[in-house]
């Protein structure tokens, strides 16, 4: 038989035993409870309820995970709980109807003595979850100590003599006298047994607390999935511990039985949720409220005890109780609010108060002087909101390295959340997902609100920075152009005109004395004047190609194509341009196309180059494609392509280059046709 088959067979046997025992327990309850509603022992259902709560998840896990220790603990102790319910129901039946029944003594021994081990699986689950092994190192010693403390209760009840168990308990004395089997006990003094029985329940509580600490300690170094799983078990175990310390000692036996079944069911269900699909559930608010109400219950008990100890001896008990109720009522509401704020902050960071988080981020962004400072504030706000130790915010820039702000130490396995601004991904947030996972819809909505608020502010600051940089660049370009023109006029035209003037003056002085030499100087001045005219034309052409005014954009490009055609390369210009083309767009398109044609002529080795013009959604579309060798490295650009891209960007346009080695190159350019288009787009983005 395979391991899986054996595990499934054991599951079937455990379920069969539980079904038979459960039916028997409930049948005996039906025979006893209608006529004797308060039997000497707990009713059979009080064992069946927690047993079923453990058996069902345990059997499901054991069927899917053969011989997994967690599944084994749940299944085994689930069966024991149900059998314990059968034993208690059998003793109740024998007490009223057949005290000489042969099965009464073993049933009584199982319930009153062996049943003390039934709380022990909670400690085992906390110590073994989620991998079924004890922690190593110093934590193993703590785990063993928790196991030893948890075994004090079953040890004391299993081996104590009857006189130790019946001391100060008349009901138990009668039951022991009627059903206690004659079994040997350990030869220890009665005082030792009494001390063990007195310390058994506190030892159990301490063992549960140590096991809970060990379980929480597994979060350090755990994966994000393991951390989320542990949170479920910690929550349910915390409820069980609070109920064991504060609730069970102060409520009737029947209610204890019911609460015991509910709390054990919570622990078992949390194991199933954690092992299977933890992301379907949200645990943070449950943890917060568990801490709050655990502390409130403890505070109420403390207030009662203090009032009774302080003034209970001087006044009537009912007055002391009334004073306690009044004190608790006055303090309850503000205390609950304060405790919840503290617990929520501890469990889930500041995300419990989303309005405060968003408001705080808005104030921070207003105070931040620039985009880098705003990114840093966003990283800090996200870290505080979600209790994360590592948050990195990256903002992409159209031309340049991404802007990065970091809170804490960056980690390798951070979860990535895109920053979306008006449908455009402008960056990302890298957040440590393990410590406080952002899994619920509420968390994701809060993070989205933070991102949208910061994205608008950061983008505005970045656009402002780019606008200022553009203004400075325009001023610098204007001054550089003025300096160039000054040099051209001063160093080029100036000396030429001065030379012409000097020749003409000399010719005038020689006109009477040496006419032939005077005429020669006039001819030389005329030649110099031709050079002046050529220089003026060159300067004017640099400012704006005359062919654009004479022939238009298509004609000027045809002229360039004719000049560069030949030598094995044919250039064609096709398409049409809209009328009243803005001069700046016309010059930019001509310069970009001319640069592309020159590059193709010099470097591509193409046989055919095509320039295509057209209009597309209020933009001038220019495409230059060739069938040459393409770029050696995809995306590589030189000075020429960089200057072309800058020309397009200056007008609010775009330039894209696509190329593969051996497959040619395509340059696509879009330039806005009207100057108000860009302004309208900016207004739309801001609005």
Render pLDDT for 466-501 as a digit per residue (tens, 0 to 9).
677 767 777 776 777 777 777 777 777 788 888 888
Judged against a pLDDT cut of 90, whether residue 341 lies above it is answered with: no
Q: pLDDT value at position 635?
A: 46
Judged against a pLDDT cut of 70, whether residue 327 lies above it is answered with: no
Strand partners, 570: 608
Judged against a pLDDT cut of 70, whether residue 677 lies above it is answered with: no
Binned at pLDDT 50, 70 and 90, residue 306 comes out as low
Can you tell me the mean pLDDT for 293-305?
A: 52
Judged against a pLDDT cut of 50, whether residue 280 lies above it is answered with: no
Q: pLDDT value at position 675?
A: 54
pLDDT in tens, 28-43: 988 888 888 888 888 8
Binned at pLDDT 50, 70 and 90, residue 142 comes out as very high
Binned at pLDDT 50, 70 and 90, residue 80 comes out as very high
3-state secondary structure of 324: helix
Alpha carbon distance 336, 332 (integer Å):
6
Average pLDDT over the chain, rounded to an integer: 76
Structure tokens at 548: 């654009």
Judged against a pLDDT cut of 70, whether residue 319 lies above it is answered with: no
Can you tell me the mean pLDDT for 225-245?
A: 74
Place of tokens 């949200």: 282
Binned at pLDDT 50, 70 and 90, residue 409 comes out as confident
Binned at pLDDT 50, 70 and 90, residue 155 comes out as very high
Structure tokens at 429: 């947030």
Alpha carbon distance 50, 80 (integer Å):
10
Structure tokens at 663: 């497959």
b/e map 40-67, b = 16+ CB within 10 Å: ebbbbbbbbbbbbbbbbbbbbbbbebbe
Q: Is 594 exposed, middle or buried (0-12, 13-18, 19+ CB in 10 A)?
A: buried
Distances (CA, A) of 282 to 233, 347, 639: 13, 12, 55
Query: Strand pairing of 665-672 and 619-626?
Result: antiparallel
Residue 167 is classified by DSSP as: T
Strand partners, 622: 613, 669
- Find the helix or strand (DSSP H, E) in which 550 lies: helix 546-564
Output the CA torsion sign for 142, 148, 151, 153: negative
Is the model more confident about 23 or about 644?
Answer: 23
Binned at pLDDT 50, 70 and 90, residue 673 comes out as confident
Q: Could you tell me which residues come within 8 angstroms of residue 33 by beta carbon, excluding any fewer than 6 positions away?
A: 39, 43
Q: Could you tell me which residues come within 8 angstroms of residue 594 by beta carbon, excluding any fewer than 6 positions away?
A: 557, 560
Angle at 132 between CA 436 and CA 48, to 5 degrees: 95
Q: Where are the beta strands (DSSP E) in 570-637?
A: 570-575, 608-616, 619-626
Alpha carbon distance 514, 382 (integer Å):
93
CA atoms in the 13 A half-sphere facing the CB of 282: 13
Judged against a pLDDT cut of 60, whether residue 612 lies above it is answered with: yes
Alpha carbon distance 218, 335 (integer Å):
32
Is the model more confident about 31 or about 641?
Answer: 31
Alpha carbon distance 144, 149 (integer Å):
9
Q: Where are the beta strands (DSSP E) in 220-371?
A: none
Q: pLDDT value at position 478?
A: 73
Judged against a pLDDT cut of 70, whether residue 210 lies above it is answered with: yes
- The answer to whether the CB of 42 falls within 8 A of the CB of 257 is yes
Of 58-62, 279-283, 396-400, the range with the highest mean pLDDT is: 58-62
pLDDT in tens, 238-260: 777 777 776 666 666 667 777 77
pLDDT in tens, 553-568: 888 888 888 888 877 7
Alpha carbon distance 386, 408 (integer Å):
13
Query: Strand pairing of 570-575 and 608-616?
Result: parallel
Structure tokens at 31: 């025979």
Of 51-55, 62-66, 81-85, 211-215, the least confident? 62-66
Of 28-42, 340-354, 594-608, 651-665, the least confident? 340-354
Distances (CA, A) of 9 to 1, 5, 61: 10, 6, 13
Quote the crossing angle between the two packed helices 515-543 and 494-510, to the nearest 10°.
160
Q: pLDDT value at position 14?
A: 92
Judged against a pLDDT cut of 70, whether residue 87 lies above it is answered with: yes
Q: Could you tell me which residues come within 8 angstroms of residue 621 by beta carbon, excluding any fewer than 6 positions away?
A: 612, 613, 614, 615, 668, 669, 670
Output the CA torsion sign for 216, 221, 226, 231: positive
Alpha carbon distance 117, 79 (integer Å):
13
b/e map 662-675, b = 16+ CB within 10 Å: eebbbbebbbbbee
Alpha carbon distance 201, 203 (integer Å):
5
What's the chain's length in residues?
687
Can you tell me the mean pLDDT for 428-454?
A: 65
Phi and psi, residue 642, nearest 5°: -65, -45
Among left, alpha and beta (phi > 0; psi -120 to 50; other), residue 306 is alpha
Structure tokens at 635: 């995306």
- The answer to whether the CB of 402 falls within 8 A of the CB of 396 is yes
Q: Could you tell me which residues come within 8 angstroms of residue 481 by beta carbon, excluding any fewer than 6 positions away?
A: none
* Model confidence, pTM: 0.47
Judged against a pLDDT cut of 50, whether residue 289 lies above it is answered with: no
- Which strand ranges, in their side-by-side order, compose the sheet holding 415-421? 403-408, 390-395, 424-431, 415-421
**pLDDT over 70 for what percent of the chain?**
74
Choose among 114, 94, 82: nearest CA to 28: 94
Binned at pLDDT 50, 70 and 90, residue 143 comes out as very high
CA atoms in the 13 A half-sphere facing the CB of 34: 5
């Amino acid at each position: 038989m395979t391991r899986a088959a054996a595990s499934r067979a054991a599951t079937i046997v455990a379920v069969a035993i539980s079904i038979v025992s459960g039916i028997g327990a409930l049948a005996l309850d039906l025979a006893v409870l209608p006529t004797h509603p308060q039997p000497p022992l707990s009713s059979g259902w009080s064992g069946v309820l927690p047993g079923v709560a453990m058996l069902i998840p345990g059997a499901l896990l054991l069927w899917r995970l053969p011989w997994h220790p967690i599944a084994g603990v749940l299944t085994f102790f689930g069966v024991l709980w149900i059998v314990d319910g059968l034993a208690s129901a059998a003793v109740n039946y024998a007490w009223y109807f057949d005290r000489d029944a042969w099965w009464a003594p073993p049933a009584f021994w199982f319930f009153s003595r062996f049943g003390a081990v039934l709380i022990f699986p909670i400690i085992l689950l906390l110590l073994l979850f989620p991998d079924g092994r004890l922690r190593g190192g110093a934590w193993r010693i703590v785990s063993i100590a928790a196991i030893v403390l948890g075994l004090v209760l079953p040890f004391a009840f299993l081996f104590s003599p009857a006189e130790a168990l019946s001391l100060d308990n008349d009901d138990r004395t009668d039951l022991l006298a009627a059903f206690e089997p004659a079994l040997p006990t350990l030869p220890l003094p009665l005082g030792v047994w009494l001390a063990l029985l007195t310390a058994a329940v506190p030892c159990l509580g301490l063992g549960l607390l140590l096991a809970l600490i060990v379980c929480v300690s597994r979060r350090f170094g755990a994966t994000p999935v393991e951390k989320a799983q542990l949170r479920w078990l910690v929550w349910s175990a915390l409820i069980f511990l609070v109920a064991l310390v504060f609730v069970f000692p102060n409520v009737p036996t029947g209610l204890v039985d019911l609460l015991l079944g509910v709390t054990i069911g919570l622990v078992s269900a949390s194991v199933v949720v954690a092992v299977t699909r933890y992301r379907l559930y949200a645990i943070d608010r449950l943890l917060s409220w568990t801490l709050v109400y655990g502390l409130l219950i403890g505070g109420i008990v403390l207030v009662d005890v203090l009032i009774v100890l302080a003034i209970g001896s001087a006044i009537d008990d009912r007055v002391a109780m009334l004073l306690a109720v009044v004190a608790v009522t006055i303090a309850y509401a503000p205390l609950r609010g304060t405790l919840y704020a503290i617990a929520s902050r501890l469990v889930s960071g500041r995300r419990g108060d989303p309005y405060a988080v968003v408001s705080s981020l808005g104030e921070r962004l207003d105070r931040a002087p620039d985009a880098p400072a705003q990114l840093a504030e966003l990283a800090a706000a996200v870290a505080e909101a979600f209790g994360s130790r590592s948050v990195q915010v990256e903002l992409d820039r159209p031309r340049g390295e991404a802007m990065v702000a970091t809170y804490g130490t960056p980690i390798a396995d951070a979860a990535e959340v895109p920053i979306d601004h008006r449908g455009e991904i402008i960056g990302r947030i890298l957040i440590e997902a393990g410590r406080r996972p952002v899994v619920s819809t509420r968390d994701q909505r809060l993070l989205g609100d933070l991102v949208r608020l910061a994205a608008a502010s950061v983008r505005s600051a970045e656009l402002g920075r780019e606008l200022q940089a553009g203004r400075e660049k325009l001023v610098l370009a204007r001054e550089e152009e003025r300096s160039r023109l000054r040099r051209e006029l001063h160093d080029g035209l100036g000396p030429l005109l001065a030379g012409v003037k000097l020749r003409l003056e000399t010719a005038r002085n020689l006109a009477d004395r040496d006419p032939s030499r005077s005429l020669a100087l006039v001819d030389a001045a005329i030649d110099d004047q031709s050079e002046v005219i050529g220089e003026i034309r060159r300067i004017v052409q640099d400012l704006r190609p005359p062919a654009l005014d004479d022939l238009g954009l298509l004609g000027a490009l045809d002229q360039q194509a004719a000049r560069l055609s030949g030598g094995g390369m044919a250039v064609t210009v096709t398409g049409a341009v809209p009328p009243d083309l803005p001069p700046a767009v016309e010059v930019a398109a001509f310069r970009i196309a001319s640069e592309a044609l020159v590059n193709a002529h010099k470097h591509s080795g193409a046989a055919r180059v095509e320039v295509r013009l057209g209009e597309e959604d209020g933009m001038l579309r220019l495409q230059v494609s060739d069938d040459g060798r393409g770029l050696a490295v995809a995306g590589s650009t030189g000075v020429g392509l960089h200057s072309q891209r800058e020309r397009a960007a200056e007008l609010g346009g775009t330039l894209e280059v696509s190329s593969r080695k051996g497959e040619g190159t395509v340059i696509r350019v879009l330039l806005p046709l009207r100057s108000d288009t860009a302004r309208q787009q900016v207004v739309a983005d801001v609005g």
